[in-house]
Amino acid sequence: MRIASVVGTRPQLIKAAALQPELRARHHEIFVDTGQHWDDALAGSFFRELGLARPDHSLDVGGGSHAEQTATMLTRLEPILLAERPDAVLVYGDTNSTLAGALTAAKLGIPVAHVEAGLRSFDRRMPEELNRVVADHLATWAFAPTPTAVANLRAEGISRGVTLVGDLMQDLAARIGVEVRDPAVLAEVEAGLAAGGVRVGIRPGAYLFATIHRAENRSPAAVVAWVAMLDLVATADRPVILALHPGTAVALSAAGLQPGPNVVIVGPRSYRASLALQMHAAAVITDSGGIQREAAWLGVPCLILRSSTEWPEMLAAPGGGSAGGGSVLVGLDRDRAAVELERLAPSASAPAAARRRAAAFALAPAGAGEAIASALAASTAEPGSAP
């Protein structure tokens, strides 16, 4: 089967790294990078680090508004698909690259395979929610990561072509997590930061790791709120290491704000460094769907800077239990964040807890890559070649 895979962002490269070996073992892949995350810090280094194949086509879209990005992708992707004549177009997740890939393929009559189908935050204000809903309703193959995602699709009348495959990101986290569970890896991370001019001591359980990138957290009011939150929870003995997305850095500058001295701002980290910083942190603070899952798999407490999530399985259950390390939605409420942080990761016990977690780390791969490649292969043996 000739499959055109469309990627464009860091999370999509992580998923592609988990799927690509299985996909190429059974199919002919045409690898297309839209360039939605266009600089080396955001995405370029991921190709090298994760061993991804060189893209067959690079759209070099770069930045812009949602409309500008998506329109450019549509016009640049269409002639590629017409020339390559794939049997299917595979898209990942919920980005503008996902939307453009699914729309272009559907308009050309090419079947769409959607990885991470069925996720819902039920918040239509989020551009990601709109992208994933449209992709699901255009998809011939809906590859769902969780039973909840399958139920969401069924509730919208989508049952044909739905397959529960597990989470691709879990496959990669299981493999790389073993490599970074030794606290000695933090010396490597420190050295990498020092090479970039950032000097900070990193010890297990003695820091917080944060990422902020979503559009709703880039408004002036949101920036004021999360800066105040980070300043409240950061201390000299337990600093916040904030891996700042370039778009969020622009919003921070536009707001004329700068976090206090206990918030250490660094650029986007490599996948390995990011996973290491999560594993050995006292807790994680994020609005990322990918990082909230990784934190849960690693068993690390996580404060989610959102009012809803498409990954409800990762949230703490009533009574304090959770599917992972204890993840809670705190929005931008700084007082609640401080209370939850003290509950989930008390300063006095967090270092010992971090060392125990890392030493006990054992995550089984989901097998999602094999399940997706197998489902696509099986469909080619059936009449009509698609479900």
Spell out the per-residue pLDDT of the chain, length 387, in tens: 999 999 998 889 999 999 999 999 999 999 999 988 655 555 557 777 888 999 999 998 877 888 999 999 999 999 999 999 999 999 999 999 999 999 999 999 999 999 999 999 999 999 999 999 999 999 999 999 999 999 999 999 999 999 999 999 999 999 999 999 999 999 999 999 999 899 999 999 999 999 999 989 999 999 999 999 999 999 999 999 999 988 899 999 999 999 999 999 998 888 999 999 999 999 999 999 999 999 999 999 999 999 999 999 888 644 333 444 589 999 999 999 999 999 999 999 999 999 999 999 999 999 999 999 999 999 875 544 454
Domain count, the chain: 2
Q: Whole-prediction pTM value?
A: 0.90
Buried b (16+ CB within 10 A) or exposed e, 234-271: beeebbbbbbbbbbbeebbeebeeebeebbbbbebbbb
User: Is there a domain that residue 385 lies in?
Assistant: no
**Is 271 in the same domain as 304?**
yes
Domain match, 177 and 206 both: yes
Looking at the structure, tell me whether residues 150 and 247 fall in a common domain.
no
| Tokens encoding 51 | 């061993």
Q: Which strand ranges, in their side-by-side order, compose the sheet holding 112-115? A: 57-58, 28-33, 2-7, 88-92, 112-115, 141-144, 162-164
Same domain, yes or no: 268 and 349: yes
Report if residue 146 sits inside a domain: yes
Instruction: State residue 328 phi and psi, 5-degree precision.
Output: -135, 145
> Is 238 domain-assigned?
yes
Q: Is the domain of 312 the same as that of 327?
A: yes
Domain presence at residue 71: yes
Does residue 47 lie in a domain region? yes
Q: 159 and 208 share a domain?
A: no
Same domain, 78 and 34: yes
Based on the domain organization, do 249 and 306 belong to the same domain?
yes
My answer on whether 114 and 150 are in the same domain is yes
User: Which of the residues 27, 57, 114, 213 is marked catalytic?
Assistant: 213
User: 37 catalytic, yes or no?
Assistant: no
- Same domain (yes/no): 341, 372: no
In a domain, 271, yes or no: yes
Q: How far apart are CA 379 and CA 373, in angstroms?
A: 10
Contact 289, 266 (CB under 8 A): no
Token pair for 368: 């999602």
Q: Are 177 and 282 in the same domain?
A: yes
| Structural domain harbouring 283 | 172-360
Whether residue 124 is contained in a domain is answered as yes
**CATH number for position 153:** 3.40.50.2000
Asked if residue 90 and residue 39 are part of one domain, the reply reads yes
